[in-house]
Amino acid sequence: MNLTTPTRFPSRSAVTLAHSYNYCQQITRTQAKNFYYGLKLLPQPRRAAMFAMYAYMRIVDDIADGQAGKSVADRHQALEVLTQNTREALAGRTGDESASIWPAFIDMTRRYNVPAYVFEEVIAGQRQDLQGPVFEDFEPLKQYCYRVAGVVGVGSIHVFGFQGGEETIELAVQRGIAFQLTNILRDLREDGQRGRIYLPRSELREAGVAEADLLAGKSSESFLKLMRRQIDRARAFYESSSPLESRIEPSSRPTLRAMTQIYRGLLEKISDTPQRVLRERVSLSPLSKLRIAWRAARSR
């Protein structure tokens, strides 16, 4: 699904707020393989707002990764256009009259006071992706994870409702980083096929893993050592952000709990057989996700 093709959308005059929110829900239902199960547990209107947020993030991500045949220069230009349209929308004006997302996006950001920097940072993270990021050690990787996922956690808790101010915002950042570190391990093979390695180069050298072997999908004891380090780090971010649930509005806690358990479950599945990520995209079954969502809903 190319979410940035303008000819697919009605003109702004035909885009009602209800149509815009329905469009965002459709994107989330078809594209959010992990998040949708948790988001369905949110009460309205928070649920619709999170659909709008996800749809926006998906559009940004698709510019960097989903436009087959587009040059890097064209994708940078598309991100620049999206940046300008986003700023227009945050000011209450729909800059791109062809996109169905903007009425819901404007309503979501205004209703829940989502900070503008969330969207600026997410776009900055995708610009990094287009440049073929190379991280020598963990600190620049952490900054990248903050941009593409940590700030999504910040935007999410504004929609969820939270207390605790900056301390809670930092917990949301850590949870987002935990999710992104899990994604990086899950997508090791897919990213390698694109020539991308997100793991810190210094840690590859310390483990004795050659970049060429990683791109070729070669498993070894050195690879397992490298993966254990990455898994332990991701677990640490889940643990350090564990107080987050108690800071969230009670009606939103089942959603956060379900999303976290799905991603934590994915990490543990990778931990059971780390070399699987070299052969396939590791995932939880739809039934497993439904069970997690059901348990989270009952905890309400």
Q: Is residue 210 part of a domain?
A: yes
Q: Is residue 4 part of a domain?
A: no
Same domain for 176 and 234: yes
Question: What angle is formed at CA 116 by the lines to CA 103 and CA 31, rounded to 5 degrees?
Answer: 55
Whether the pLDDT of residue 11 is over 60: the answer is no
- Identify residue 100 by its one-letter amino acid code: S
Same domain for 145 and 93: no
Give the residue from 115, 131, 147 where a domain finishes. 131
Q: Is residue 7 part of a domain?
A: no
Same domain for 169 and 105: no
Same domain for 153 and 100: no
Give pLDDT, residue 4. Answer: 37
Same domain for 284 and 156: yes
Alpha-carbon distance 60 to 44, whole Å?
Answer: 25
Same domain for 276 and 142: yes
Same domain for 213 and 93: no
Same domain for 94 and 151: no
> What are 94-141's pLDDT values in tens digits?
655 557 899 999 999 999 999 999 999 999 999 998 888 899 999 999
* Residue 257 burial by Cβ neighbours in a 10 Å radius (0-12, 13-18, 19+): buried
- Under the banding of pLDDT at 50, 70 and 90, the label for residue 1 is very low
Give the residue from 116, 131, 146 where a domain finishes. 131
Mean pLDDT is lowest, of 66-80, 173-187, 247-261, for 66-80
Range of the domain at 92: 15-131
Same domain for 149 and 52: no
Same domain for 121 and 214: no
Cis preceding linkage at 45, omega within 30: yes
Neighbours of 217 (CB within 10 A): 15
Number of folded domains in the chain?
2
In 3D space, the residue among 199, 196, 195 whose CA is nearest the CA of residue 185 turns out to be: 199
Alpha-carbon distance 71 to 123, whole Å?
Answer: 17
Q: Is residue 8 part of a domain?
A: no
CATH number for 241:
1.10.600.10
Give the residue from 85, 104, 131 where a domain finishes. 131
Q: Are 215 and 163 in contact (CB under 8 A)?
A: no
> What are 166-209's pLDDT values in tens digits?
999 999 999 999 999 999 999 999 998 888 899 999 999 999 99
Q: Is residue 9 part of a domain?
A: no
